[in-house]
Chain A
Amino acid sequence: MLFKAGVILPGTPLVPALAEELVDVYTSYNICTLPPYTLGCGAMPARDGPDYRYAAAYAGDAVFIANRRLQCQTWAAAGVPAYCFRFAAQPNGLNIYSGVPHFQEVAFVFDNIMGVGYAVSIPFHVQNDG
């Protein structure tokens, strides 16, 4: 079991001083640029709370995005080829509050243009051009 209800990844508590610093940094960002990027300057549903997008930005960076950057910088600094991507094409079936979350690139990687395994929302009816 990888995930358990109630746990936010990365799941490692940080000391309060570092948490405060991270909050200062992330709340200084232009909210229109934060996840979900499909929302732009629109508003999330009220139930998510006014600071939802700042926390989502931090969570994404902490779980995969910053990590990928460090790996790619490390490989490049050692002279080893590293081809690194940010996947930003929203497949069919997701709404503006979802952006391009986890797993959505998989249908593209496997060229699953027929939507095999998808009961609804065939991914390749792409809504935007990424």
Chain B
Amino acid sequence: MLNECFYSGSAVGFQLLAYGGRNDSVITRAIMESGNSVPYRGSYGTDYYQPYYNTIVNNTGCANAVDTLSCLRALPFNTLNAAVNTSAAGLWFPTVDGDFIRKYASIQMSNEEFLHVPIISGANTDEGISFGPAVVNSTAEFAQDIESMYHCCNSR
């Protein structure tokens, strides 16, 4: 039995929706701080990440390997780290793979496909100070931030 309490509540949130909310009697209750079962980033399928994976494979000399994943796993840490630590490698978030993550969280939740265990879930009043844009000079800039989600970063 596991009582999950985890910072980065998002990680716990995914566990509560895992395998369509299947109850394996492993998790009996969960606590989430600033993160939950609704991912803060839109979810994508494996097709979205495939080009990033290919880029990493190509950057490591694993492109000609029969099993590229095994090749990556056998690399020295520094080689792999250098390959993933570039913008071309993209950002990795949990992927809708049809297995661990069966569907978008919003769909699973509307279908009650989640682990029915008691939870504590919270967030802080001013999360947007940490995750919002640093400078917003006009409503046009505000709209642009939402459309592109790319502006600048807050250091406060």
Residue positions of A touching B, CB distance < 8 A: 1-2, 4-16, 18-20, 22-23, 26-27, 35-38, 47-52, 54-68, 70-72, 74-75, 78, 80-88, 97-106, 109
Once A49-B136, A64-B36 are accepted as A-B contacts, the answer to whether A86 and B42 lie under 8 Å apart by CB is: no
Contacting residues, chain A, for B146 (C-beta < 8 A): 13-14, 18-19, 22-23, 58
Contact of A11 with B41 in the complex, beta carbons under 8 Å: yes
Provide a sorted-by-A list of 22 A–B residue pairs whose CB atoms are within 8 angstroms.
Answer: A10-B40, A49-B135, A50-B137, A54-B136, A55-B133, A64-B34, A64-B124, A68-B32, A70-B38, A71-B119, A74-B109, A78-B112, A80-B117, A81-B119, A82-B119, A87-B122, A100-B125, A102-B34, A102-B129, A103-B130, A106-B33, A109-B33
Q: CA of A70 to CA of B116 in the docked complex: distance in angstroms?
A: 15
Distance in Å: Cβ of A29 to nearest Cβ of chain B: 12
Q: Shortest distance in angstroms between A33's beta carbon and chain B's nearest beta carbon?
A: 11
> Within residues 8 to 32 of chain B, which ones have a CB less than 8 A from any CB in chain A?
8, 13, 32
Stretch at the interface among B54-62, B66-74, B148-156: B148-156
A58 near B127 with CB under 8 A, answer: no
Residues from chain A with a CB closer than 8 A to the CB of B114 are 74-75, 78
User: Is A99 a contact partner of B121 (Cβ separation < 8 A)?
Assistant: no
B interface residues, tally (CB under 8 Å)? 60
A84-B121 contact in complex given A9-B131, A55-B133, A59-B132, C-beta closer than 8 Å:
yes
CB neighbours of B76 from chain A (8 A): none
Q: A55-B142, A101-B130 are contacts. A4–B87 as well, Cβ < 8 Å?
A: yes
Q: In the complex, A4 Cα to B38 Cα: how many Å? A: 21
CB distance from B46 to the nearest CB of A (A): 17
Instruction: Find out whether the CB atom of B122 lies under 8 angstroms from the CB atom of A75.
Output: no
In the complex with contacts A54-B142, A80-B118, A84-B120, A67-B126 CB distance below 8 A: no
Q: In the complex, which of the residues B112, B131, B148, B151 contacts A63, with contact meaning CB atoms closer than 8 Å?
A: B131
For chain B residues 90-147, which have a beta carbon within 8 Å of chain A? 91, 106, 109-110, 112, 114, 116-139, 141-147
Quick one: given A48-B134, A67-B36, A109-B33, are A8 and B121 in contact (CB under 8 Å)?
Answer: no
Which of B32, B87, B129, B143 sits near A56, CB closer than 8 Å? B129
- CB within 8 A of A71: which of B7, B38, B42? B38
Judging by beta carbons under 8 Å apart, are A101 and B127 in contact?
Answer: yes
With A60-B132, A82-B118 known as contacts, the answer to whether A4 contacts B91 (CB < 8 A) is yes
For A109, list chain B residues within 8 Å (CB). Answer: 33
Query: Which residues of chain A are within 8 angstroms of B138 by Cβ–Cβ distance?
Result: 49-51
Instruction: Give, as a whole number of angstroms, the nearest-CB distance from A43 to chain B.
Output: 14
